Amino acid sequence: MKLRKKTAAAMMMALLCATLASGCGQTRIGYIDGERVSKEAPQINSLIEEGNKKIEEAQTQAGEELQKKLQENPDMSQEDLQKAQLDSQRKLQGLNQSYALQLRQKMDVALAAVTKEKKLDAVVNNSTDQPTAITGAVDVTDDVIAQLQ
């Protein structure tokens, strides 16, 4: 009699473990439409506008500085001219990278919040041109846009 109770208890434990293990192996994936987020999220829009304005100002300033250097030294060698142009390009690239990093950080914070809230294991970018998530994934685009208000 004791053996039957132990066997029944062992079988119940095995069934319980199998049930729990089958539920633990599921991966939850979300996806966003990155193009839509960049168009509709106010924080992203304002950062893009600010970045474009700063880059445009920097381009104008770099052009003016280059013109000034040419006026001060009309006999500037081709090599010095190229160095000045490369220096201007490096400054613009640095500014561009700075704003790209800020955009990435804002997106990462919003994605982390949505991922935690929705209990997702991963979030992928799903564009209309090349869809990554076709079935079985959760669209979290609206949630990410809401985080970036």
SS3 (DSSP) at 123: strand
Note whether residue 16 is domain-resident. Answer: no
Count how many domains the chain has.
Answer: 1
Question: Helix (H, G, I), strand (E, B), or coil: what is residue 129?
Answer: coil
Task: Return the amino acid letter for 71.
Answer: Q
**Among the listed residues 90, 85, 93, the one whose alpha carbon sits nearest the alpha carbon of residue 69:** 85
Let me know if residue 122 belongs to a domain: yes
pLDDT tens, residue order, the chain (149 aa): 455 555 544 555 554 444 444 555 677 888 888 888 888 999 989 999 999 999 899 889 888 888 888 888 888 788 888 888 888 889 889 999 999 999 999 999 999 999 999 999 888 887 777 777 666 788 888 888 888 88
Residue 112: what pLDDT?
A: 92
Contacts of 69 (CB under 8 A, 6+ apart): 76, 84
Find the domain containing 83 and state its range.
27-147
Q: Is residue 20 part of a domain?
A: no
Residue 7 forms part of a structural domain:
no
pTM for this predicted structure = 0.68
The per-residue pLDDT for 19 is 46
Q: Is residue 11 part of a domain?
A: no
Residue 57 falls inside a structural domain: yes
**CATH number where 92 lies:** 3.30.910.20
So what's the pLDDT on residue 12? 53
- Residue 7's pLDDT is what? 57
Phi-psi region of 73 (alpha: psi -120 to 50; beta: other; left: phi over 0): beta
In a domain, 4, yes or no: no
- Give the integer Cα–Cα distance in Å for 61 and 73: 18
Classify residue 9: in a domain, yes or no: no
pLDDT at 84: 83
Q: How far is CA 31 from each of CA 55, 113, 114, 120, rounded to the nearest angstrom?
A: 31, 14, 11, 10
